[in-house]
Amino acid sequence: MVSPKIAVLIPCYNEALTIGTVVKDFKTFLPQADIYVYDNNSKDDTVAIAKAEGAIVRHEKRQGKANVVFKMFREIEADIYIMIDGDDTYPVDCVQEMVDQFIENNCDMLVGDRLSNNSYKKENKRAFHNFGNNLVRNLINVFFGSELKDILSGYRIFSKKFVKNYASTIKGFELETDLSIYSLHNGLAIEEYSINYRDRPEGSESKLNTFTDGFKVIKLFFNLVRLYKPLLFFGVVSAVLFIVGVLFMIVPITEYFEYKYVYKVPTLIFSIMLIIVSLLAFMTGLILDNISIIDRKNFRVRYNSTK
């Protein structure tokens, strides 16, 4: 039996302190893999160190992790793709077990789960990151009916089918959220593997901004709910508008039954407009939901036809 071709994908920006360790670890624990380091305009010695350790180094000038990963997916040919950050926060010694689980269970995506064993909670020193992880995870699990434990992990394994069919318009660190919701929406096979997360070594700085990037992730989540679950999204909007419209209508109706005359005509007109808009919102959700169903069917046909 021919062994699958494995590619390790490491997007990097100013990771000179840690990239050498990450590449060496993969050389040790997964020697059959091709290791690709895609540099995203680093100002330090990331490129030189990666080359010295034997990685295949390429470049992406457009800033943003998602831009780097999209280029990787487009250019690299393999059977199995392992994506990992270059900050040495994810363990590599378990990668062969992760690959074995991925192959054995015929996954589309395997996620390195940092949260199940509380290693992220213990090691992570960045304020509000634990809260943000739990918030995003709970939102996605509720809205998409899933039971994922780690939505934002940057340690993932993908099938070739996944990589060659994945498409998105995001640019930055919202990538992991998009990957998770994309997989759930399209009914792909997702599994998780519990890993021991460790914080960045002293001197290595995170590129994430807790509040700015957190807001981007939450904004992306609601945009994806609107895109992938339009009936739910517009149904909620419709219900809110309808209730507000009915509440505004109470006063004019009460006046009519009491005085046989409506004095607050503008209020009546406004309430009727709200109810009409609520009905339009509901119809919009129905139409977009049908389009979404057809799109998922077309995706499955395209996905299954990918060799």
Are 22 and 56 in the same domain? yes
In a domain, residue 107? The reply is: yes
Q: Are residues 220 and 241 in the same domain?
A: no
Check pLDDT > 90 for residue 200. no
Q: Which of 152, 145, 163, 162 is nearest to 113 (CA)?
A: 152
Residues 268 and 170 in one domain: no
Residues 66 and 162 in one domain: yes
Within-domain flag for 267: yes
Q: Is the CB of residue 165 less than 8 Å from the CB of residue 275?
A: no
Domain boundaries, position 85 = 6-228
Cα 180 to Cα 149: distance, rounded to the nearest angstrom: 11
Question: Looking at residues 229-239, what average pLDDT do you find?
Answer: 95
- Same domain for 242 and 124, yes or no, is no
The string of DSSP letters for 17-58 reads TTHHHHHHHHHHH-TTSEEEEEE-S-SSSHHHHHHHTT-EEE
- pLDDT, position 262: 83
Domain presence at residue 1: no
% of the chain surpassing 70 pLDDT: 91
Q: How confident is the model over 258-268, as pLDDT tens digits?
A: 888 888 889 99
Q: Are residues 64 and 140 in the same domain?
A: yes
Note whether residue 36 is domain-resident.
Answer: yes
For residue 203, what pLDDT band results from cuts at 50, 70 and 90?
A: low
Last residue of a domain, one of 213, 228, 243: 228
- Are 82 and 178 contained in the same domain? yes
Q: For the chain, how many structural domains are there in total? A: 2
Return the minimum-mean-pLDDT range out of 10-24, 211-225, 264-278: 211-225
Question: Token match 């030189």: residue?
Answer: 48
115 and 20 in a single domain? The answer is yes
Of 194, 228, 262, at which residue does a domain stop?
Answer: 228
Distances (CA, A) of 186 to 18, 149, 151, 170, 176: 35, 19, 16, 18, 16
Q: Is residue 274 situated within a structural domain?
A: yes
pTM of the model: 0.84
Distance CA 36, CA 7 (A): 7
- Give per-residue burial for 80-94: e unless 16+ CB within 10 Å, then b: bbbbbbbbbbbbbeb
String of DSSP letters for 263-290: S-HHHHHHHHHHHHHHHHHHHHHHHHHH
| One domain for residues 273 and 158 | no
**pLDDT of 288 above 90:** yes
Can you tell me the distance from the alpha carbon of 51 to that of 35, in angstroms, rounded to the nearest whole number? 10
- Identify the CATH number of the domain in which residue 47 sits: 3.90.550.10
Point out the domain boundary residue: 228, 255, 276: 228
221 and 172 assigned to the same domain: yes
**pLDDT for the residue numbered 133:** 75
Residue 121 and residue 52 share a domain: yes
Q: Are residues 248 and 288 in the same domain?
A: yes
